[in-house]
A and B are shown apart, each in its own frame.
Chain A
Amino acid sequence: MPNILEIKGLVASFASDGVRERAIAVNGVDLAIPAGKTVGLVGESGCGKSVTSLSVMGLLADNGRVEAGEALFGGVDLLKLSDRELRKIRGNRISMIFQEPMTSLNPVITVGKQVAEALRLHSGMDRQAAKARTIEIFEKVGIPEPERRYACYPHQLSGGLRQRVMIGMSMVLKPDLLIADEPTTALDVSIEAQILRLMRDLQRESGMSILMITHNLGVVAEICDLVYVMYAGEVVERADVNALFAHCAHPYTRGLMASLPRMTPKGQRLYNIRGTVPNLRAMPSGCRFSPRCEFATERCRVEKPPLADIGGGHLCRCFAPESGEGPMGGVSR
């Protein structure tokens, strides 16, 4: 299966006031998204998952910068394109959905116009045609009374509807790749299920790929085919979704799995990974997870483990994958 997007050795850094040295937020990430598939990118807040996607789109904040790497999209390196060339791809062939549907839409422009704007920009439709097409897509993403909703402002819609508007906006130009950055985090669980189902249906219909950025393993299980787990700016594990949930190999991934609340007897404490995410400016030597790892050895603290294949395309950055008994034993999907 050809890859729609292939990120190789991506390094991104941030400057902050009063500090000369730049903080490395993403350190050599390799990531491939097969055509028509959904890839999950999982990790804690601050592990670099959003920075990875924003780097590819050229949307890093002013103090952010891509230091190295390439992002091949249909044979073109997105990181080498000028802003003008990248803008032709943005919103057209690669589109994005963001976490906060409350703040991701402009409060003073009607939602219909915000969707039609993308359409007019990339397809050159006139106002009338763009409006008709927008109403069509609203209907498709399950917005009731699409014609009335076209003229609504964001504050007049519920969170779920706003996220549907965002999805409509990202789908209206039939992109090859949809990057969804925590699209359901701000929604309640029943709406989350609806939105995920909608994304899956739209994918089936259009054949696009999805990069699903999330910290929610439930979402991963629900929608992803392939999963990348990131920790402290690096990929620590990559596996097929079934393989990951059947036997995840990296101690960090296993910790994440064990932290999921499950049906356990009353009074049993919920598992948590001890320690905190390391500071970007003071990364531990050797394996970045070693200070928090229950199985770390002397070697882990000195030498950095490579991302190695442990069988069947399952990659893991650990010297002793599946070493010891994980804190949670076997977790089933």
Chain B
Amino acid sequence: MVKHIVKRILITLPVLLGIVLLIFFMLQVVPGDPVTVMMKEHLKEDVVENLRRTMHLDDPFFVRYFRYILDMLRGDLGTSWKLNRPVTNLISTAFPYTLRLAIASALFSWIMGIPVGVISAVLKNSLVDHLSMGLSLFGVSMPVFWIALILQNTCKGFLPVSGVQGWQSYILPTIVLGWSSAGRIARLTRSNLLEVLRGDYIRTARSKGLSPLKVITRHALKNALIPVITVMAIQISSLLSGAVITESVFAIPGVGSLAVTAINNRDMPLLQGTVIFTAVLIIAGNLAADILYSVIDPRIRVE
């Protein structure tokens, strides 16, 4: 088991290097010269030349790539061109906001999604089922910014709608972010549970004389939640990397907002940093899903 996990972690290292290479390359081909980004006014030719040299911008691509990797291993993601602060510093300031929002909306989506899915499956084709599946579909299919605007307008009298002034500021963004995840989880839970409830081992469990509630909680749910857990792990990693739209709409200074700022400013080191940060989180999320999977499903466990 431990060996399996260690192996799984080692496999992610080349993936990470590949991702850095890809991001690095893509940002090289994006038009826009950093020096002109930093200095809006025209500069003298030799000053520009000098600046480019000190920033190592004239070095060959692979030299810069390996230098970046080495710096990254030392925990240095470069310095923001526009804000003139270390990228790691900027991300670590922004991350707590994102973290709080991510945890809140993940919890919201699990607490709403799983029970609603279970109830819908048990009361299949009832009014409750149709209603909750309708709300789920609404959450999944409506654009986040639209729901955000509607909520901002309806709740602006009694809830903060912009910036972070206290825990109340997280309520609306949590609902906006959590709703679509909750919908997805509810629908997945429902369909998996219905599938599992048709299984032969459910009939066996009933033939033992177990009550319907015990059949669901002890025999059906664990099987039905295996695929849901994958979605949950990937969902939380994408939430942690910053909800770009939600953070922007509610003016929450998290990682998502940071990425938007970086794009607007053509701030390559900052953008590169946030994207790599996101990639690491997604990889970690997948890894967590994998490990959770083998904990829950004995068939996947490696002997």
Fill in one digit per residue for B215-236: 1 if any A CB lies within 8 Å of its CB, else 0.
0001100110010000000000
Give every chain B residue within 8 A of A104 (Cβ-Cβ). 200-201, 203-204
Q: A121–B218 Cα gap in the complex (Å)? A: 13
| Chain B stretch 202-219: residues in CB contact (< 8 A) with chain A | 203-212, 218-219
Q: A122–B199 Cα gap in the complex (Å)? A: 23
Q: Which of A105-113, A142-150, A234-242 contacts B (4 or more CB under 8 A)?
A: A105-113
Q: Which of A100, A118, A155 contacts B209 (CB 8 A)?
A: A118
Give every chain A residue within 8 A of B200 (Cβ-Cβ). 98, 100, 103-104
Give every chain B residue within 8 A of A59 (Cβ-Cβ). 203, 206-207
Q: A80–B206 Cα gap in the complex (Å)? A: 18
Give every chain A residue within 8 A of B49 (Cβ-Cβ). none
Q: Answer whether residue B195 sits at the interface, using C-beta atoms and an 8 A cutoff.
A: no
By the criterion CB–CB under 8 Å, are A90 and B223 in contact? Answer: no
Q: Answer whether residue B7 sits at the interface, using C-beta atoms and an 8 A cutoff.
A: no
By the criterion CB–CB under 8 Å, are B298 and A57 in contact? Answer: no
Q: Which of B207, B212, B219 contacts A90 (CB 8 A)?
A: B207
Q: Which of A83, A87, A89, A108 contacts B297 (CB 8 A)?
A: A108
Nearest CB of chain A from residue B199's CB, rounded to whole Å: 7
| A89, A92, A108, A117: most-surrounded residue (chain B CB, <10 A) | A108
Fill in one digit per residue for A99-134: 1 if any B CB lies within 8 Å of its CB, else 0.
010011111110000100110011000000000000
Q: A104–B205 Cα gap in the complex (Å)? A: 9
Q: A169–B203 Cα gap in the complex (Å)? A: 14
Give every chain B residue within 8 A of A114 (Cβ-Cβ). 204
CB-based nearest B residue for A105: B201
Question: What number of B residues sit within 8 Å (CB to CB) of A?
Answer: 22
By the criterion CB–CB under 8 Å, are A98 and B209 in contact? Answer: no
Q: Answer whether residue B72 sits at the interface, using C-beta atoms and an 8 A cutoff.
A: no
By the criterion CB–CB under 8 Å, are A57 and B219 in contact? Answer: no
Known contacts A106-B223, A153-B299; A90 and B206 CB within 8 A of each other = yes
Nearest CB of chain B from residue A244's CB, rounded to whole Å: 29
Q: A89–B206 Cα gap in the complex (Å)? A: 11
Give every chain B residue within 8 A of A118 (Cβ-Cβ). 208-209
By the criterion CB–CB under 8 Å, are A155 and B298 in contact? Answer: yes
Known contacts A89-B209, A121-B210, A169-B208; A107 and B223 CB within 8 A of each other = yes
Give every chain A residue within 8 A of B296 (Cβ-Cβ). 108
Q: Answer whether residue A251 sits at the interface, using C-beta atoms and an 8 A cutoff.
A: no
Fill in one digit per residue for B223-258: 1 if any A CB lies within 8 Å of its CB, else 0.
100100000000000000000000000000000000
Nearest CB of chain B from residue A159's CB, rounded to whole Å: 14
By the criterion CB–CB under 8 Å, are B208 and A90 in contact? Answer: yes
Q: Answer whether residue A88 sits at the interface, using C-beta atoms and an 8 A cutoff.
A: yes
Q: A167–B222 Cα gap in the complex (Å)? A: 24
Give every chain A residue within 8 A of B203 (Cβ-Cβ). 59, 98, 104
Q: Which of A57, A83, A103, A109 contacts B207 (CB 8 A)?
A: A57
Q: Answer whether residue A96 sits at the interface, using C-beta atoms and an 8 A cutoff.
A: yes
Q: A84–B297 Cα gap in the complex (Å)? A: 32
CB-based nearest A residue for B214: A121
Q: Which of A91, A108, A155, A166 contacts B223 (CB 8 A)?
A: A108
By the criterion CB–CB under 8 Å, are A109 and B219 in contact? Answer: yes
Nearest CB of chain A from residue B204's CB, rounded to whole Å: 5
Q: Answer whether residue A95 sits at the interface, using C-beta atoms and an 8 A cutoff.
A: yes
Q: Which 6 A-B pairs have the closest CB atoms?
A: A91-B208, A91-B209, A90-B209, A103-B200, A153-B298, A118-B208
Given A91-B207, A92-B209, A106-B204, 7 more contacts at CB 8 Å? A59-B207, A89-B209, A98-B200, A104-B201, A107-B297, A109-B218, A153-B298
A-B contact pairs, 22 of them (CB 8 A): A59-B206, A83-B212, A90-B206, A90-B209, A91-B207, A95-B207, A96-B204, A96-B207, A98-B207, A103-B199, A106-B201, A106-B204, A106-B205, A106-B219, A107-B201, A107-B223, A107-B298, A108-B296, A109-B218, A109-B222, A117-B218, A118-B209
Q: Which residues of A contact B (CB under 8 A)?
A: 57, 59, 83-84, 87-92, 95-96, 98, 100, 103-109, 114, 117-118, 121-122, 153, 155, 166, 169
